[in-house]
Amino acid sequence: MDRFEQLTAKYLDEVLSPVEGQELANHLRADPEAARQFLAFYSQDRLLVELYRSDDLAAMESIMAEICGEERAFVGSVMQRVRENKDARGLMNLPGTQTWIQNVWRSWMVWTGSAAALAIALYFSLLRPVVGQPVLFVSQASSVIVERAGEKVPTSDRLALLPNDLLTLVETNTASITYAPETTRLDLKPGTTVKLLDWARGKRLELRLGRVEANVARQRPFKPLLVLTPQAEARVLGTRFTLVTDTNATWLELEEGNVKFTRASDGKSVKVGAGNSAVAGMNYDLKALPQTGSILREYWTNLPGSAVNDLLDHPNYPSRPTGRDYVDLLEVPSAGATNYACRLVGYLHPPVTGQYIFWIAASPAAVVNLSPDENPANAMRIFGASFDFGRGRESQPREWERKATESRTQSQPITLVAGRRYYIEAVHKADDRVGHLAIAWTPPGGEREVIAGKYLSPLKPKPKGKKR
């Protein structure tokens, strides 16, 4: 492999240093043929990534035909092996497959000399081994217990890890695994237990317990990073994600890219994209949902009146709020603002399946609408109207159980299913007094708590006509 090919391969693997990047740029500026060849490498590499992501064998055959032109025998041979094994992604793991493809490419290059650049690009994308050996980085050697072949080994910073090493982090420390010169990095959080499996066919990890936050460089299309947990499998080509597992479920949150997330109990899979999350476990629906953490707050200022309808009937509601932000609790604390109104709108993500009791503490007025699903059109009112307690006494923040004059502060039990999302909307109006709003729930077998951001996701604002 000449220097230009080495630099191109490093670029495709995202491990090119700044100095090497300048060297490659000089090659491309000085040699138009090198630029054409580089473009062929890059285009076919991207094509193979899309090929890997596809579950449609007809689409795969179309792409292979595009690559190979008139060499229909080549396309037929590849597709026959894929169909026989019912697994497009497993092609490269069949016995003798890599040698077979290498031989076919050598013959094809003889038949069509103009395909040399394409053959090299495909060789880089399919057959090059995964880059990098895992190395452990620790702030304190005592923070990680490393077991190798059933025995503890001395732990040190920059310890080279081996297949089947078992790592256990104590409760107060973190550690990282890197794969230099590749930029992949796995950050292990306190209390995490992870086992490294054989990485000959791509990086393999077994996350037994805890939390891993990962930044994964682009992997070979047929050699992804694979993380196994007791409840799920996450298959990664290149992305930033967080994976958390305990004895009951595994949670995946994705910052960018795509991950194939498979439930261990029945083999059902879902593709999770950037900004989404999914949960695998008993009593959870397996589906990609927006990431939790906050809910949208829209607010209006200098709006007189003390009733919710003073906001609902205003021409600026709902599409022209004074401002928008995101809050991490289903609560609007007393902050001294008067003639203020707001709407909290988004989705609830219940952590377990069962009956929930909702609670409200508000002053002077609020309504809460909850849908039996994620459709806002199906939302029904569970709380509403005035929360004055009579004789002029106002409700106090988080005062849940006193009887209001015009509205109850506790709901009937409502059944929610874990792994689904439910549209929720709370509208609050304060007058010339200081107002407040808080919504809590009592989950099955749990204690009452203000609904936290980890159970919420925001609705994306879409200016439309009025809605109540």
Summarised one tens digit per residue, pLDDT across range 315-355 is: 999 888 988 888 999 998 765 567 889 999 999 999 889 99
Please check whether residues 60 and 177 belong to one and the same domain.
no
Residue 331 lies in a domain: yes
Please determine, for residue 404, whether its predicted confidence score (pLDDT) is greater than 90: no
Out of 245, 262, 290, pick the residue that ends a domain. 290
Please determine, for residue 69, whether its predicted confidence score (pLDDT) is greater than 70: no
Please determine, for residue 198, whether its predicted confidence score (pLDDT) is greater than 70: yes
Please check whether residues 169 and 271 belong to one and the same domain.
yes
Find the distance separating the first CA and the last CA of the chain, reported in whole Å.
67
Non-local (6+) Cβ contacts of 95 within 8 A are none
Q: Helices H, strands E: what count in the chain?
A: 8, 29
Please check whether residues 159 and 241 belong to one and the same domain.
yes
Out of 75, 110, 127, pick the residue that ends a domain. 127
Out of 272, 290, 308, pick the residue that ends a domain. 290
Q: Is 467 helix (H, G, I), strand (E, B) or coil?
A: coil
Please check whether residues 308 and 453 belong to one and the same domain.
yes
Please check whether residues 273 and 309 belong to one and the same domain.
no
Please determine, for residue 105, whether its predicted confidence score (pLDDT) is greater than 80: no
What is the model's pLDDT at position 284? 82
For residue 368, the Cα-to-chain-centroid distance in whole angstroms is 29
What is the model's pLDDT at position 113? 39
Please check whether residues 352 and 337 belong to one and the same domain.
yes
Residue 465 lies in a domain: no
pLDDT in tens, 212-261: 999 998 887 667 899 999 999 999 877 899 999 988 889 999 988 889 99
Tokens at 341, concatenated: 């109104």
Strands (E), 282-410: 289-290, 295-300, 323-327, 331-332, 341-348, 354-363, 365-370, 380-383
Higher pLDDT, 320 or 207: 207
Domain limits for position 438:
295-458
Average pLDDT in the chain = 78
Q: Which long-range CB contacts under 8 A does 139-146 form with residues at least 24 apart?
A: 139/173, 139/174, 139/175, 140/173, 142/170, 143/169, 143/170, 143/172, 143/173, 143/174, 143/175, 144/168, 144/169, 144/170, 144/173, 144/175, 145/169, 145/170
CB 364 within 8 Å of CB 356: no
Residue 432 DSSP one-character state: S
Residue 467 lies in a domain: no
What single string gives the DSSP state of each residue in 241-273? EEEEE-SSEEEEEEEESEEEEEETTT--EEEEE
Residue 464 lies in a domain: no
Mean pLDDT throughout 169-186?
Answer: 89
Domain of residue 226, CATH code: 2.60.120.1440
Domain count, the chain: 3
Type and span of the H or E element at 35: helix 32-53
Please check whether residues 285 and 301 belong to one and the same domain.
no
Omega prior to 181 cis, within 30 of 0: yes
What is the model's pLDDT at position 49? 52
Please check whether residues 171 and 276 belong to one and the same domain.
yes
Residue 363 lies in a domain: yes
Is pTM, for the whole model, over 0.85?
Answer: no
Please check whether residues 313 and 226 belong to one and the same domain.
no
What single string gives the DSSP state of each residue in 259-316? EEEEETTT--EEEEETTEEEEEETT-----EEPPS-EEEEEE-S---SSTHHHHTSTT
Please check whether residues 300 and 441 belong to one and the same domain.
yes
Report the alpha-carbon distance of residue 359 to residue 295 in Å, rounded: 18
* Rg of the chain on CA atoms, in Å: 28
- pLDDT bin (cut points 50, 70, 90) of residue 185 is very high
Domain of residue 446, CATH code: 2.60.120.1560
Omega prior to 351 cis, within 30 of 0: no
